[in-house]
Chain A
Amino acid sequence: MSEIILTPKEQPQVPLEAPNIKPDVFAGKTIDEIKEVEINYGNDTVKLSDFFDVEGTPGETAGEIKIIIDGDVSNTKRIGQQMTAGEILVKGNVSMYVGLEMEGGKITVQGDATVWAGQNMRGGELEIMGDAGDYVGSSYRGDWRGMNGGLITIHGDVGYEIAEYMGGGKIVVKGNADHMPGVHMSNGVLIIEGNVTSRTGGEMSGGTIVVKGVIGQFLAGFKYWGVEKNIQVDGEDIPGVFYKFTGDNAIKGANGTVYVAVAGNKHVAPE
């Protein structure tokens, strides 16, 4: 196992874009070569070593490389973009698009992420210990084909429209979600352990959403099926008592499922 440690120098005012910070690019390179890897600083192309100290032991293949970003990179975007193997550990916050279009391997962020974390994810694992912003695991803006594989776990809270156009894979949010989680979702699993502000699963056509906390304003397009105990979702047992709904019937032929914990949610079940 190779460990390559990137220690951030002074934080830039202008954002860095660093899709090249991933094991796939570092594989087969010496430490000196890794220092030369290109990143974007505004509209300039600069070297990784302009903003990071690089040390550690290089590796031959992506799968054996673990990149440790030892500090806060809250103004660095696109870390781990399209990575296929290996590991990235960020000991701080990250900016937008962490794990964008990621296909394999694992990214762990110990701090917070901003918007578009895991956009269009295909596979692998993205874990954020803090909060994440809007559009976690969503599609590219305008596209109707979003995340279709992999696992995203957010330990804190998330913003608007997470899992937008999700077509596969799994997202687990330990905290709360804001408006419209799972909007346009067609497949996959979204589990929210905290509360949801409103409009869970708006225009969803398939897939499953589980909300364990209190659900705010719910949509009229869902059909109520009754109460189910100890449900099973995607092979996983989820203990508890849930109201079951399907919809959103605002969409023709929709067949999505929403489970909402009975506790605290009497307001969403019909009399």
Chain B
Amino acid sequence: MERIIKNGVVYCPLNGINGEKMDISIKDGKIVESVSDDAEVFDASGQIVMPGAVEVHAHIAGAKVNVGRMMRPEDSKKDAEGTVEATHRRAGSGFSVPSTHMTGYRYAQMGYTTAMEAAMPPLLARHTHEELQAIPILDHAAFPLFGNNWFVMDYLGEGDIDSCAAYISWLLRATKGYAIKIVNPCGTEAWGWGGNVHGIHDTAPHFKVTPAEMIKGMAEVNEKLRLPHSIHLHCNDLGHPGNYETTIESFEVPKGIKVNPATGSRDTVVHGTHVQYHSYAGTSWRDFESAADIVADYVNKNDHITIDIGQVTLDETTTMTADGPMEYDLHSLNGLKWANCDVEMETGSGVVPFIYSAKAPVPAVQWAIGMELSLLVKDPAKICLTTDSPNAGPFTRYPRIFAWLMSNQYREDMLENKLHKWAQKRSSIATIDREFSFYEIAQATRGTPAKVLGLSDFKGHLGAGADADVAVYNMNPDTIDPSSDYMAIEQGFQKASMVFKDGELTVKDGEVVNAGLKGKTFWADTQVEQNSYNAVLKEVERQFVKYYSIGFKNYPVEDEYIAKSAPIKGVML
């Protein structure tokens, strides 16, 4: 099947295309150089054409997402829609934690075609994959949590990188996981004893390993296994005033490790996630202020790191993270309902609703910090725009964030009329007049995430050979002025005029018209030296018998769980 999207204004940063009028040709689900005259024609004159967007970090499937849905019926009430039989669209509900089908529809409507589930407890991988399978349209992957895993903590405590690599290689395959996710290393384990770790040189109770050793060891394992993505790091001390020092120390730890992916074009060794939550100065909430300038300066001066933002959107949302102690702190702060989960020898999590009120001082500064990070990091090849959905706000607010970044006037209106004065007093946001271009938005939502995930051979760009994931927005860059027409920008990005997924027209005029598509599941396939692998597996099996609530053989996610398996190869023997 051949298709051609004609006369659109194309932004494709990975190929250096900045607003050129050109045609995009599609054949058999891939972008090609040209098509025959028989191709079905789609007119995109006066419209923006970008690659399908790539979500680098969100919580869209699995145990804690589902806990969020269950404990918040009042959130479901805020956004609900019925079945649409003509397009096979299923009913759904949920504003900050939408149900599975609606998650797929809402992303697709905005032109997103790939999304990462950023925290998968290995023991609950089956559930996570079941939900990912139920999210239509989106290609996806899930990052297993390693930062408080007992095996990893033991191996790295002993400095045994090879065994750790063998274990991680096995676990990624067993859980059909994609990348090494580290959340509050050692801290969630300490929470099992009612505590936390502070800074990166504190040890977890009953283990002989520090967060710094965990970060360094796993970064080495990551490159040894030649994984597509770098380590994906949620630093210690999230959300604590004064935590920026821990953040920068953590980023410094893996510096110097040689980047070595087997595929893709990644050139960084660590991805710092939702860095807004990690860029706080001060000593308490009273003298809390932004340290975004210091963190942005670090990112500007170092080339081994990418970050995503975790932009606060000023909504009522549902926070959820594997950082169990942090969620308890949040619950103590706002007094709202709290759920805590412990996942045996692997990890834990917490869930708490949260209202980021623009009129309250702390959320106003958090908003400003996210904006500062996006605007002060000079090169959008180093940042991905996220809300850590739904933690700082639901992913459906991305268009609003794009509009804030593209319009100084919009930000000024926020600062003057909507936000608590602390936003101006406790950050430098009021002094920044930079505005993102369409090209830079495309970088931070397409090019950069695809590249850092190691998927840029076929995602995040529109060159020949790429997957034919294309978003078309009904905004004419020749006539629209994002500085002043910011509401039009927000609306334009909210509902794409056309979205193609694997070459199929999936969204038309902002509505999902092809809801039956299933996405691919990316996972990391690696092989390590056999003797070391067998020895590690023998030990793992012994520990399973001793400690786990399920049998070793029942642990791996079988191939039947994955409808469209897409292994990405790392090191192979």
Contacts and interface: CB of A to CB of B under 8 A. Distances in A.
Interface in A103-160: 139-144
A140 B336 CA distance: 15
B573 to A, nearest CB: 52
B73 A144 contact: no
Contacts of B206: none
A143 B337 CA distance: 10
Contacts, number: 15
A142 B336 contact: no
Interface of A is mostly: loop
A143 B78 CA distance: 12
Interface centre among A140, A141, A142, A143 (most CB of B within 10 A): A142
A139 B77 CA distance: 13
Nearest to A205: B335
Interface size, A (range): under 10
Contacts of A140: 73-74, 77
Nearest to A43: B82
Contacts of A143: 73-74
Nearest to A251: B335
Interface centre among B73, B74, B75, B336 (most CB of A within 10 A): B74
A142 B71 CA distance: 7
A178 to B, nearest CB: 22
A142 B336 CA distance: 11
B73 A141 contact: yes
B472 to A, nearest CB: 34
Contacts of B72: 142
Contacts of B336: 144
Nearest to B72: A142
A141 B71 CA distance: 10
Contacts of A142: 71-75
Contacts of B73: 140-143
B352 to A, nearest CB: 12
B77 A144 contact: no
Interface string B69-88: 00111110100000000000
B338 to A, nearest CB: 12
A26 B337 CA distance: 40
Nearest to B332: A252
Interface string B296-337: 000000000000000000000000000000000000000011
Contacts of B74: 139-143
A168 B77 CA distance: 22
A1 B336 CA distance: 46
Contacts of B71: 142
B239 to A, nearest CB: 21
A114 B72 CA distance: 24
A144 B355 CA distance: 12
Contacts of A144: 336-337
A107 to B, nearest CB: 22
A50 to B, nearest CB: 21
A141 B336 CA distance: 14
A139 B73 CA distance: 11
Nearest to A141: B73
B371 to A, nearest CB: 29
B335 to A, nearest CB: 8
A31 B75 CA distance: 38
B129 to A, nearest CB: 28
Nearest to B77: A140
A139 B74 CA distance: 10
Interface string B56-96: 00000000000000011111010000000000000000000
A4 B71 CA distance: 42
Contacts of B77: 140
Nearest to B76: A142
A144 B74 CA distance: 9
Contacts of A139: 74
14 contacts: A139-B74, A140-B73, A140-B74, A140-B77, A141-B73, A141-B74, A142-B72, A142-B73, A142-B74, A142-B75, A143-B73, A143-B74, A144-B336, A144-B337
Interface of B: 71-75, 77, 336-337
Interface of A: 139-144
Can you list the 7 inter-chain pairs with the closest CB atoms, starting with the nearest? A143-B74, A142-B73, A142-B74, A141-B73, A140-B74, A142-B72, A140-B77
